[in-house]
Structure 1
Amino acid sequence: MSDIPRRAASRTAKLAGLPLGVAGRAAAGFGRRLTGGDRDEISAQLAAKSAEQLFAVLGELKGGAMKFGQALSVAEAAIPEEFAEPYREALTKLQAAAPPMPMSDVDYMLTQQFGRSWKSRFAEFDETPAASASIGQVHKAVWSDGREVAVKVQYPGAEEALRSDLRQLGRLSRVLQPLVPGMEIRPLIDELRDRMEEELDYRDEATYQREFAAIFEGDPEVKVPRVIGSAPKAVISEWVQGRPLASVIREGSVDERDHAANLLAKFHYSAPDRARLLHADPHPGNFGILDDGRLLVLDFGAVARLPDGMPAELVAMTKYALQGRGGDLMALMRSAGFVRSGARIEQEQVLAYLAPFTEPLEVEEFHFTRRWIQRQAERVGDLRSPDAAIGRSLNLPPRFLLVHRVTMGTLAILCQLDGHVRLREIVAEWQPEMFEPDAPTG
Structure 2
Amino acid sequence: MKPPRSAGGDDDETHPSENDGDPPALDSVAPGWAKRLAASARVAGSAARLAVQRSDREGAIGAALARELDSMKGVAMKLGQIVSYFDGLLPEETHAALHRLQRGSAPVKLERMQRVIEDAFGQPLAALFERFDTEPVAAASIGQVYQARFRGQQVAVKVQYPDIASTMSGDIGRLRALSRIASLATAVDGPSLVDELAERMQRECDYQLEAGYQRGFRAAFASDRAVFIPAVVAERSRLRVLTTEWVRGTSFYEFAAEADAATRSRAGLSMARFAYRSLFALGTLNADPHPGNYLFPDPHTVAFLDFGCVRAFAPDFLARERALIRTVIDERRADFRGALLATGMVPRPKRFDFDLHWQVLRHQYAPYRSAEFVFTSDYVRRGMEMNGPRNSNNRFMAIPPPWIWLQRLIWGLHAVLARLGAAGPFAAVLRDALDAPLRPLPPPPGAAAGDNNA
Report the Cα distance in structure 1 between the residues aligned to 2:313 and 2:134, rounded to whole angstroms.
38
Instruction: Indicate which of 389, 394, 419 corresponds to 2:392.
Output: 389
Identical counterparts, % of pairs: 30
In the superposition, relative to structure 1, how do residues 96 and 351 fare at CA in structure 2: closer, same or farther (>3 Å)? same
C-alpha distance 218-140 of structure 1, shift in aligned 2 (>3 A) = farther
Deviation (angstroms), 1:347:
5.3
Q: Structure 2 stretches of 5 or more lacking a match?
A: 1-27, 180-190, 438-454
Structure 1 residue 378 displacement after superposition: 2.0
Partner of 2:348: 341
Query: Are the equivalent residues in 2 in contact too, given 1:272–1:309 (CA < 8 A)?
Result: no
Preserved contact between residue 321 and residue 343 of structure 2 (Cα < 8 Å): no
Distance 1:12 1:217 in 2: 48
Aligned mates of 2:210, 2:377 — CA distance in 1: 32
Paired residue for 1:369, among 372, 376, 379? 376
Residue type matched to 1:56 in 2?
R
**1:9 — aligned with what?**
31
What is aligned with 1:129?
136
Distance verdict in 2 for CA 1:415–1:20, change over 3 Å: closer
Greater CA drift, 348-357 or 52-61: 348-357
Matched residue, 2:214: 209
5 Å-filtered alignment, 1:292-303, equals 293-303=300-310
The reply on whether 1:160 has 2:166 as its aligned counterpart is: yes
User: What amino acid maps onto 2:209 in structure 1?
Assistant: D
In 1, are the aligned partners of 2:280 and 2:436 still within 8 Å (CA)? no
2:4: which partner in 1? Answer: none
Q: Does 1:49 align with 2:60?
A: yes
- Quote how far apart the aligned CAs of 1:246 are: 2.8
- 2:115 maps to 108
Q: Counterpart in 2 of 1:426?
A: 429
TM-score by length of 2: 0.77
Answering whether residue 86 of structure 2 is matched by residue 72 of structure 1, we say: no
Between structure 1 and structure 2, the one with the greater Rg is 1
Q: What residue identity is the alignment partner of 1:315?
A: R
Show the counterpart of 1:238.
245
RMSD: 3.5
The one-character-per-residue Cα deviations of 1:155-188 (angstroms, maximum 9, x if unpaired) are 1111122234455678899xxxxxxxxxxxx999
Asked if residue 271 in structure 1 is aligned to residue 278 in structure 2, the reply is yes
Shift of 1:191: 6.3
Cα-to-partner distance string for 1:128-156 (whole Å, 9 max, x where unaligned):
1121221111111111x212111111111
The residue number in structure 2 matching 1:222 is: 227
Maintained 8 Å contact 1:211/1:275: no
Structure 1 residue matching 2:350: 3-state secondary structure: coil
Measured in 1, the distance between the counterparts of 2:44 and 2:405 equals: 32
Report whether the alignment pairs 1:63 with 2:70. no
SS in structure 2 opposite 1:45? Answer: coil
Map Cα deviations across residues 243-279 of structure 1 (whole Å, 9 max, x no partner): 1113333554433432332221111111234544211
Residue aligned with 2:156, SS: strand
Give distance in 2, aligned partners of 1:213 and 1:124: 26
**In structure 2, what is the Cα distance between the partners aligned to 1:370 and 1:123?**
45
Query: Which residue in the other structure is 1:146 paired with?
Result: 152
Contiguous gaps of at least 5 residues in structure 1:
1-5, 27-39, 174-185, 435-442
Q: Structure 1-normalised TM-score?
A: 0.79
Aligned 8 A contact 1:22 1:50 in 2: no
The alignment covers a number of residue pairs equal to 396
1:15 and 1:169 in contact (8 A); partners too: no
CA distance in 1, matches of 2:168, 2:178: 15
Question: Is the CA contact (8 Å cut-off) linking 1:18 and 1:53 kept in structure 2?
Answer: no
* Counterpart contact for 1:365–1:423, Cα < 8 Å: yes
Distance 1:12 1:250, change over 3 A: farther
Counterpart for residue 34 of structure 1: none
Superposed displacement of residue 308, structure 1: 3.8
Aligned to 1:260: 267
Q: Residue 12 and residue 231 in structure 1: after superposition, are their counterparts in 2 closer, same or farther (change >3 A)?
A: farther
* Kept in 1: contact 2:313–2:402 (CA 8 A): no
1:293, distance to aligned residue in structure 2 (A): 2.6
**Alpha-carbon separation, structure 1, partners of 2:293 and 2:138:** 11
Q: Distance in 2 between matches of 1:425 and 1:23?
A: 41
Residue 287 of structure 1: CA displacement?
0.9
- 2:328 and 2:361 in contact (8 A); partners too: yes
Map of 2:291 onto structure 1: 284
CA separation in 2, counterparts of 1:256 and 1:55?
A: 32
Give the conservation status (yes or no) of the 8 Å contact 2:228–2:303: yes
Change (3 A) 1:255 1:107: same
